[in-house]
């Protein structure tokens, strides 16, 4: 296949456009949520740590069964539902702020539920792409999608910091809420039918599938060190995630925009 093949694939272009916007919005929120806690709600190290725990706990809990559950369902309705619910969750933050009732507890719940839905989305998304474009073009498709993700990681924090400084942290989160709406609409507009899940010859309880997956990881010579590396990196990254916003904003007195620029760099 030539590089131009997916440029002529209308449904993939819808998916790509929606995910590009969504990735950018998510990075903006990743910058804005800690600033809502810190600048608007007066959070300290303990409260910032609870925000990180809420997001990490969501991925841990849902990650155990997400793959096995997604394997039983059609992927596109799940992706659309996850985007729509995440948009509502994030809209609730600026709405609560305008009503004068925004609290840290709401942020914890929003971060946790958004993380749960994100884990489901991330499990269903890689399985949906091959059914849309074909296995022979997965490398090309993933390359384009990864490019959007990389660009969002570079530009998103600076944009997020700039929006926080310009319109305030709660309203910067609106960008991500709108981006999830765009992503959901792009998925709705896809016309290619998703293949039905093949019937299972012998029904296997989801609990058994999860245990079989964990056992496979435990016995695999490559997956074991990769898993350990991921756990260690996540724990260390969580410590860093708690401290860096506090340090840059409170100790170094950086503005939200400069904070975003530092994260982008």
DSSP 4-19: TTGGG-HHHHHHHHHH
CA distance 131 to 127: 7
Q: Is 76 helix (H, G, I), strand (E, B) or coil?
A: helix
Q: Which residue has the tokens 């609106």?
A: 174
Cβ-in-10-Å burial (0-12, 13-18, 19+) of 254 comes to middle
Give pLDDT tens digits for 98-128.
999 999 999 999 999 999 999 899 888 888 8
Q: What is the pLDDT of residue 199?
A: 66
Residue 2 has pLDDT above 70, yes or no: no
Residues 183-197 have a mean pLDDT of: 88
φ and ψ at residue 3, rounded to 5 degrees:
-65, -25
What average pLDDT does the structure give for the chain? 88
Residues 40-58 have a mean pLDDT of: 90
CA distance 151 to 265: 12
Residue 216 has pLDDT above 90, yes or no: no
Residues 48-54 have a mean pLDDT of: 90
Cβ-in-10-Å burial (0-12, 13-18, 19+) of 244 comes to middle
CA distance 148 to 154: 10
Q: Which of 180, 183, 159, 160 is nearest to 91 (CA)?
A: 180
In percent, the amount of the chain with pLDDT more than 90 equals 45
pTM of the model: 0.86
Q: Write out the two tokens for 139.
A: 């490398």
Give pLDDT tens digits for 140-167.
888 999 998 898 989 889 999 999 999 9
Cβ-in-10-Å burial (0-12, 13-18, 19+) of 225 comes to exposed
Q: What is the pLDDT of residue 11?
A: 92
Contact between 50 and 112 under an 8 Å Cβ cutoff? The reply is no
Radius of gyration of the chain (CA): 20
Long-range contacts of 71-76 (CB under 8 A, 24+ apart): 71/127, 71/197, 71/209, 72/197, 72/206, 73/124, 73/197, 74/194, 74/196, 74/197, 75/124, 75/125, 75/127, 75/128, 75/131, 75/194, 76/128, 76/187, 76/190, 76/194
């Amino acid at each position: 296949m030539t590089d131009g093949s997916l440029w002529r694939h209308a449904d993939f272009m819808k998916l790509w456009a929606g995910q590009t916007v969504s990735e950018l919005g998510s990075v903006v929120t990743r910058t804005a949520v800690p600033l809502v806690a810190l600048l608007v709600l007066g959070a300290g190290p303990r409260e910032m740590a609870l925000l990180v725990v809420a997001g990490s706990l969501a991925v841990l809990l849902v990650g155990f069964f997400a793959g096995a559950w997604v394997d039983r369902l059609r992927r596109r309705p799940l992706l659309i539902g996850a985007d729509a619910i995440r948009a509502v969750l994030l809209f609730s933050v600026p709405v609560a702020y305008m009503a004068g009732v925004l609290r840290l507890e709401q942020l914890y719940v929003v971060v946790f539920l958004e993380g749960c839905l994100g884990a489901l989305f991330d499990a269903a998304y890689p399985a949906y792409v091959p059914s849309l474009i074909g296995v022979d073009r997965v490398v090309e498709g993933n390359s384009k999608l990864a490019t959007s993700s990389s660009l969002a990681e570079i530009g998103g924090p600076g944009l997020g910091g700039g929006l926080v400084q310009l319109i305030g942290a709660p309203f910067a989160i609106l960008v991500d809420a709108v981006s999830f709406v765009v992503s959901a609409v792009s998925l709705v507009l896809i016309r290619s039918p998703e293949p039905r899940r093949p019937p299972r010859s012998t029904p296997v309880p989801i609990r058994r599938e999860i245990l079989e997956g964990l056992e496979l990881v435990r016995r695999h010579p490559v997956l074991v060190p990769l898993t350990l590396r991921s756990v260690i990196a996540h724990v260390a990254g969580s410590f860093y995630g708690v401290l860096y916003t506090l340090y840059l904003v409170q100790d170094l007195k950086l503005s939200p925009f400069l904070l975003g620029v530092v994260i982008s760099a």
